Chain A
C-alpha cells in the first residue's frame, strides 16, 4: 500500500533547475537571446514544461523555422523527450556540480532517426497512458487501468501536467493498491537503463518461498554476477529496499520504476 505520503511527497517535490539556451547558429536576431531558467519537476516530461521556453526563443529564429518542432540537446546528444526528466538527468548528469542543467534548444534539423517526433501534448499523453497501462498489465493484469473511466485517466494526466500531487494521487493510489487475494503485485514494472536503451524483465515482488524480494534480488536477476549501482530519483536506494515498496513509492507517474544502472 502506497501510504507513506512523506516519501511520495518528497519524490513528487523533486525539481531540477534547467538553463535553456538557443543554438547560436539559429539566432537570426542581432541580439543573442538570454538564457531561460526553469525549475522543472523530475516526474514530468519535457514537452509539458517547455512551452514558455519555446515562446521565449521563438522570436529569435528565422520565420520559416518558427512552426517547426522544438527539440533539446545536451552535450551533443538529442534529449529523448519520452523519458521522464528525472530519468534523463540521472542518466546524463553524473555530478551535482553541473547544476543548473544547461540544455541547448534547437528548431532546425530535427534528428528524426534518434528521437521520436511529437506533434503536440496528446502524443505525450498517449505515450504516458500506454506506459501506465503496460505497468498495470504487469501489476494487475491490466484490470484496474482498463476499468478506469476516462475522467480518471484525464485526472491522472492533468495532475501530472499541472504538478498537482493530490489530484494525481487520488487516482494513482488505485493503481498502487494490491488486490484482495494477493499481498503484492503480480510483476514489478521496472526499466533498467543501460547503455543507450533500457531493459525489462518479468520479476515478481516475492520469491517462490514467500520471501519479499529486494533491490539486490533484482540486480542479481538482471545482471547476474555483476556489481552495479542503481540510481533513481537522484539517489542511490539501499539494496535491501523491498521491490514491492519501491514499486509503490518510488515509481514514476507512469507506474514504472526507472532504474539507472551504473557499472
Chain B
C-alpha cells in the first residue's frame, strides 16, 4: 500500500517535474531574457523618443536662437538702413548748407548793392534837399514876383476898366455915327432912285422917240408899194422885232464845280451872284474884262437852283434842292436865315439829316467882340423886320 502510494506520488511528482522541465524551465530564461530585452528596447525606444523630442526642442530652441540671430540681423539691417538714411540726410544737409552759404554770399552782394544804392539815394536826397531849398528860395522869389504881378494886374485891370468905359462911350458914339451913316445912305439911295427914275424917263423918252421914228419909217415903207417877200423879212430886217444877239463873251470864267444853275446881278454894284450844283453861292465882281471872286456863300445842302438879291443889294436869297431857302448878307457873307419848307417829321434818314442841318434856324452868332455882335444885330434887325 505504502509503496503503491509512493509509486503514484513519485509518478506524479516526476511527471510534474518533467512537465515543468519541459514546458517551463526551457522557456523561463528565454522569455525572461526576451522580456528583459523587450523592456530594454521599449525603454530605449522611449529614451529615443525623449531624445528626439529633446532634439526637436533643442532644434526649435536653436531655431529660435537663429530667429534671435535673424532678429539681430534684422536689427542690424534696420540700423544700417537708418545709417544710410542718416547719411543721405547728412549729404542733403551739406548741400543745403552750401546752398545757404551761396545764398548768404548772394545776399551779401545784394546788401552791398543796396547799401551802394542807399548811399546813392542819400546823395540824391541831399541833392534834392539842396534843390528843394533852392526851389523854395525860388518859390519865395516867385511869390514875391507874383505879388508884384498881382499888383500890376490890379493896376492893369483898373486901367482896363477905365478903357472899357472909354470903349463903351466910343461904341455909343460909333452907333450914333452908324445911324447917321445909314440915314445918309438912305438919303443917297433916294437920290439914286430919283436919278434912276430920271434916267428911265429919259430912256423911255428916247425909246418913244425912236419907236415913233420907226413907226414913221414903217409907214413910209408901207407907202412904198413894192412888195416885200417873206424871205426878205427873214433876213432880219423885220420891222417889228429888231434885236441884237451877243456874239462875243466879254468875260468867261469857271464859277462852279458842276452846272451853274442861277445867276443874278446885284441891283447896286457890279456884283454877280451865281448858284451852282456844288451847293455854293458865289459872288463875283465884274469890271472891265476881268472877273474877281468876292466870296463864297456856303450852307446849302444841295445844289442851288436860284439866287436873288434884295432891292438894297445887302442880302442874297438862295433856293436849293434841299427844300430850303437861305438868306446871306453880302457884306460879311454869313448865313442869316435858313427856312425849310419841309417838316422835321421827314422819314428819310438822309433828308432828315439834311433838314436838321438846314433847320438850324439860329446858327451860333459869330464870334468876336461886342462891337461885331452889335453890328450884326444892327444889320439883321431891319432884315428881320
Interface residues of chain A, those whose CB is within 8 Å of chain B, are: 4, 6-7, 10-11, 13-17, 34, 36-39, 96, 99-100, 233-238, 240-242, 245, 250
Q: List 28 A-B contacts (CB under 8 A).
A: A7-B9, A7-B16, A10-B13, A11-B16, A14-B23, A14-B24, A15-B20, A15-B23, A15-B28, A16-B23, A17-B24, A17-B31, A37-B30, A37-B38, A96-B22, A99-B27, A100-B27, A100-B31, A233-B19, A234-B16, A234-B23, A235-B12, A236-B15, A237-B11, A237-B12, A238-B7, A238-B8, A238-B11
The CA-CA distance from A235 to B5 in the complex, in Å, is 18
A245 surroundings in chain B (CB, below 8 A): 9
CB distance from B7 to the nearest CB of A (A): 8
Report how far A186 CA is from B115 CA in the complex, Å: 150
Q: Is the CB of A7 within 8 A of B23?
A: no
Q: Kindly report which residue of chain B lies nearest to residue A241, judged by CB atoms.
A: B8
Chain B residues contacting A15 (CB-CB under 8 Å) are 20, 23-24, 27-28
| Contact, CB under 8 Å: B28 / A36 | no
Determine the residue in chain B with the shortest Cβ distance to A6: B13
Task: Please name the residue on chain A nearest to B28 by beta carbon.
Answer: A39
Looking across the interface, which residue of chain A has its beta carbon closest to that of B4? Answer: A240
- B interface residues, tally (CB under 8 Å): 25
The answer to whether B16 and A233 have CB atoms under 8 Å apart is yes
Which residues of B are found within 8 Å of A233, using beta-carbon distances?
A: 16, 19
- Among candidates B4, B22, B31, residue contacting A39 with C-beta atoms closer than 8 Å: B31
Pick from A16, A235, A238, A241: contact of B24, CB below 8 A.
A16
Q: In this assembly, does B34 line the interface, its C-beta being within 8 Å of a C-beta of chain A?
A: yes
A-B contact count (CB 8 A): 77
Quick check: B35 and A4 within 8 Å, CB to CB? no
Does B367 make an interface contact (CB < 8 A)?
Answer: no
Instruction: Tell me the bound Cα distance from A55 to B298 in angstroms.
Output: 152
Q: In the docked arrangement, what's the CA distance between A4 and B8, Å? A: 13
**8 Å CB contacts to A: which residues of B181-218?**
none
Bound state CA distance, A241 and B22, in angstroms?
23
| Pairs of residues from A and B, 9 with the lowest C-beta to C-beta distance, nearest first | A17-B27, A235-B15, A10-B16, A238-B8, A234-B19, A15-B24, A39-B31, A241-B8, A37-B31
| CB under 8 Å from chain A, chain B span 314-341 | none
Q: Given A36-B38, A37-B38, 16 other A-B contacts at CB below 8 A?
A: A4-B9, A7-B16, A10-B13, A17-B23, A37-B35, A38-B31, A39-B32, A233-B16, A234-B23, A235-B12, A238-B7, A238-B8, A238-B11, A240-B4, A241-B8, A250-B12
What residues on A are CB-neighbors of B15 within 8 Å? 235-237
* Inter-subunit contact B31/A241 (CB<8 Å): no
> Are A240 and B22 touching (Cβ within 8 A)?
no
Which residue on B lies nearest to A52, using beta carbons? B35
Query: Nearest Cβ distance between residue B25 and chain A, in whole angstroms?
Result: 9
Which residues between 1 and 51 of chain B lie within 8 Å of chain A, taking CB atoms?
4-5, 7-9, 11-13, 15-20, 22-24, 27-28, 30-32, 34-35, 38
In the bound complex, residues from chain B placing their C-beta under 8 Å from that of A236 are: 15
Residue-wise interface mask of B (278-295) relative to A, using a CB-CB cutoff of 8 A (1 in contact, 0 not): 000000000000000000
Interface contact A39-B27, CB-CB below 8 Å: yes
Please, which residue of chain B has its CB at the minimum distance from the CB of A17? Answer: B27
Residues of B within 8 A of A37 (CB): 30-31, 34-35, 38
